[in-house]
A and B are shown apart, each in its own frame.
Chain A
Amino acid sequence: MNYPVWEVSFGAGFLIAAVGILHVFVSHFAVGGGLFLVLTERRARRNNDQALLGWLKAHTKFFVLVTVVFGAISGVGIWFTIGLIGPTATSNLIHAYVWGWAIEWVFFFVEITAALLYLYGWEKLDARLHEWYGWIYFIAAFLSMVIINGIITFMLTSGNWVKTHEFWQGFFNPTYFPSLAFRFAIALALAGIYALITASVQQDAALKARLVRWSACWIVPALVVLPALGWWYIRWIPADVWVNARGPTPTATHYALFAVVLVSVTFVLALLTLVRPGRMHLAFSLLVALVALGAMGSFEFVREAIRKPYVISKYLYANSLYAAKMPGDGGFSVDEVNANGILKAAKWISQRDLSKGDQAMVGREIFRVECESCHTTDAYRGVKHYLALRQWDQNKMQAMLGGLDLMHNGVMPPFAGTDAERAALAAYLNTVHPVSAEAAAAASDGQAVFDQNCSMCHRAKAGEPLFKELPRDSTAAIKALKDLTGLFPAMPDLKLSEPQRVALVRWVDTQRPVKGSGSTAPGGSK
């Protein structure tokens, strides 16, 4: 809201994900593939293996066309894209880490030069010098990963930086080393996966078989250690953050599952290449690469999803509001926006006057500045879809917006703004998916009432505090549900109809643990 919000019809988040995932799939290859080039060249020269050298020359061309062209441009592309979609976060990352970026640029420059000289040097340089260029390339590429890894992990686990704003404390943050090792293992696996592609088009079956086996020597061990490194990585992610990938946050949970499944499938496919290595088809190598791309993308999705509601952990929310008031925040912390109102604070709003304008139109603008960094109306993370599941009328919507930061274990930032602004946003959302008050009160099936009103924060599974702590006596439970904020102050002040409360209590009774604690003390899950 300090900067204008770019309205991407199909979803800003989707665009960043697309650019980012394609980039990492190539940039990790750029690191691992560098080591692959030099070690393969060494091996070929030691054994005076001309066939292998011939293939490696062609593979170098492929490597440069993929990494130096697409990899480098898409890397700049991430900069362009985050600047367009998250200018506040980008500005913070630039000012806090400009010397880190500048160091990375030095490595980038050396890396690109070395890659081109290595490519053109095949015909021109003596073997020793050529290998040297390969080593310079790989070391520079690895060092650029060493730098960028510090900044990416900082965004997930900002550590002490939030207090001290000290460069190295943010850089060497809790997940720095596990992430570096994890990513390097991925890079090594990708070196083999990409090599399968150029190997598959070889005519000479004996050479192809050797190449496939050599590629598998990169993929298989890397994927064998990957779970251990992943475990190390997860151990350093704060438990309350990681738990999001274990159920409470649907995106993180689904992608964590995809990541595990797709890495396993990649592993099995890599082993299958060894069955008849001399006859591996291009289509099969592309399949391996595609599955690996899915795995890599899923991992990055998990990392991004568990980081939510933040874009920089504990510091900046995904919608560009600062988590806490601090000097120099420009008035863009949640507390300040709550106090002053978003219509006053936001710089890029054309309808500021709630007393004059159409409430829903003003709500539309609030949606743009507060929600559109992650949501669209009916495309990527479209709110229309979520609202259709919930069937909230305008009043209920307004109440629910007050508890955004509690939903799905806190995946969203809190709504920031005044009560009137929250009402305006609710009015707008009710135009996106109109539900009348009668329709909202109509649901009489207990599970439907739970799904529509409770499931954002409470999960229908054993151990859910709601099931244990709601009074066992039906009359008392129905009465307690009348005043939710009395039950637990952070709950939205929902007004369920009498039949809905009765249905809900009946349904909750079917979910209760058989040997419950028997506690009748009112309380909530959070």
Chain B
Amino acid sequence: MVTRSIWRGGMVAAAAVVLALAVSSLRTTEDSSTRSARMADGRPNLNGTWQVMNTANWDLLAHTVRPAVSQPGVYENHPVLAAPVLALGSTGLVPAGPGVVEGNEIPYKPEAAAMKRENGEHWLDRDPEVRCYMPGVPRAMYMPYPFQITQSPGKIQMVFAYANASRTIFLEEAPRPPADKWMGHSVGHWEGNTLVVHVTDFNDRTWLSRSGDFHSDALDVVERFTPITPDALRYEVTLTDPNVYTHPWKMSMVLYRQLEDNAALMDFRCLEFVEETFLGHLRKNQLVKHWEGDTIVLDVTRRVPEGDKKYER
């Protein structure tokens, strides 16, 4: 009869609502032991904190151990630790690495190659990382500090421990920025299991490594993120910049997810520490003057550059 089926239908509907509410309140936390490899939409799950395990931030090309800051030693091809890092001993060395660049060569135009060499020789004065400036893309991805991904169907947000830098990868249409950005403008889409991101609208202020690798504001980057295992991603980057490179080139590396139970994205808040390094010479009274170890005594003299050079950032 009609009334009896309404009664049954009503009970089923009510039960369904109650059940749906109960299920939705069960999902309260996610951590590495319960995180699924796939999102509800079938895409790879990129949520969590990630970090590379390489030395790309020091040097993108294959390299052996060397001082972070060098000076000539007794022998021609054997430099020694220079003053800024002398007391650090082994902690003042660049670790060895097999490189991340396909073909192990960055195709600089001749004048750009000269600029890179010069940058490398003066990296403490010039590298924006030393001043805690935003690292740009792709450098942010291979800094030796973790970053956290929050992934939704429409946006993927990355927050970097280093200097609280961040980037939003728009998976839906997004307006272009009004001016150039340190971190560029990222638009992504999925190709099967691979996240493909096109990054544009860079300014010319970031470097690619501590070795002086750089680019112009014409830089165009395409990234590909492909899971190898649920907790490791192959990260490939193609860089194009007709002002600086003779042709596009590519780097490739692996991003590893942090699995520790207490993994936490702790700010690498460098700002107030670097003030002394690059503004200390402008104090009324010099602050950092002297250091003594058992066998090394360091005295610090500051100087103010001439003219408009003193305003350079």
Q: Do A and B come from one complex?
A: no
